[in-house]
Amino acid sequence: MTTLNRRQFVASVAGVSALGLTGSLAMLPSTAAAADARKKGYYSYKVGSDIEVISIYDGVWQKPHDENFIPGVSVEDTKSALKNGGLNDEFVPIEFAFTVVRTGGKTILIDAGTGGQLAPTAGLAKEGMAAAGISAADIDTVLVSHFHPDHIFGLMEKETNAQVFPNAEILVGETEYNFWTAPDLIAKLPEGRQGLAKRIQATFPTWKNINQYSGGQEVAPGITAVDTFGHTPGHTAFRVASGNDQTLLVGDLINLPALFLANLDWQLAFDADKDMATTTRKAIVAEAVADNINVAGYHFGFPNSGKIEKDGNSFVFNPVTG
């Protein structure tokens, strides 16, 4: 893989077509080239010589600004951080991108996107998967990082909750599953948060193709579950490794790099245990920098795979292509 400098832009029309096809190209996620990649709906790269990783674009939530999104941080400071990261500061641009991994003769889906059931500008994954030549019937296994709607609603149809991947084994984290399916959970939650728990409890316990994994377990050839608790009680990252090459799929551990990587102490309103999430995020960032590990984030924008590097007193995400 080639590391991209965020202060450079080296691209051409031919280079843009490389995303998901051939060659390599340097870009910023905010460039016209990245917009072309979003329009294409996917891009792919290799881990080692035998594992193919395909990022699928599912759109964006143009979240309105509010003072509660980052506790203790003003909207003005949030806008400034977005602008410094080269992003639109009119709203918080929370993009969605999940992952397909081809390994050991299997096609593994890691998280399933919004299913078109959240923001009107999200739900593009079906088109991206089709463009990449992947159908629902091709998926052998689904790995779920955590149970937030933008990660699991793509597993179930909007009106009926019918399974989108009924022939795939669905692997969910033991800690996450036990939290969300606890009989007394719904009564403990504020009314505004009960809907998600009710939907989970009406579906997952009845699906016969769900099994559980634990941290440190190899869940597919070359893919290992990594406990990264805090964002949710059982949030999990996945390490994809072949030989000396690896990519760490960090899920929602970092969220937008321009906000939560540049400011590691900022906390997200959506984090269940904010202090634990911050501690976990710092540990993973330290590991990624020290060991020069490639990372991919669910909300990193497109392209969402790259390296975390020190940038003065903070950190920056530098996208890579393969």
> pLDDT for 13-25, tens place per residue?
222 222 232 223 2
Residue 205 exposure: Cα atoms within 13 Å on the Cβ side: 12
pLDDT for residue 8: 30
Domains of the chain: 2-321 (3.60.15.10)
pLDDT per residue over 139-167, tens digit each? 999 999 999 999 999 999 999 999 999 99
Which token pair is 317?
């995400």
Q: What pLDDT score does 214 carry?
A: 97
* CA neighbor of 258 nearest in space, from 91, 90, 81, 95: 81
Q: How many CA atoms within 13 Å lie on the side-chain side of 91?
A: 8
Is pLDDT above 90 for 204?
Answer: yes
- Dihedral sign, Cα of residue 26, residue 242, residue 315, residue 41: positive
> Could you tell me the pTM of the whole model?
0.89
Q: How large a percentage of the chain has pLDDT more than 90?
A: 84
The whole-number pLDDT of residue 227 equals 98
Asked whether the predicted pLDDT for residue 31 surpasses 80, the reply is no
Q: What is the distance of C-alpha 21 from the center of its chain?
A: 22
Mean pLDDT within 258-263: 97
pLDDT, tens only, 168-177 = 999 999 999 9
d(CA 274, CA 263): 14
Q: Assess whether pLDDT exceeds 80 at residue 265.
A: yes
**Phi-psi map region of 205: left, alpha, beta (phi>0 left; psi -120 to 50 alpha):** alpha
CA 296 – CA 44 distance, rounded (Å): 12
**Do 301 and 95 contact (CB within 8 A), yes or no?**
yes
Mean pLDDT to the nearest integer, 281-298: 96
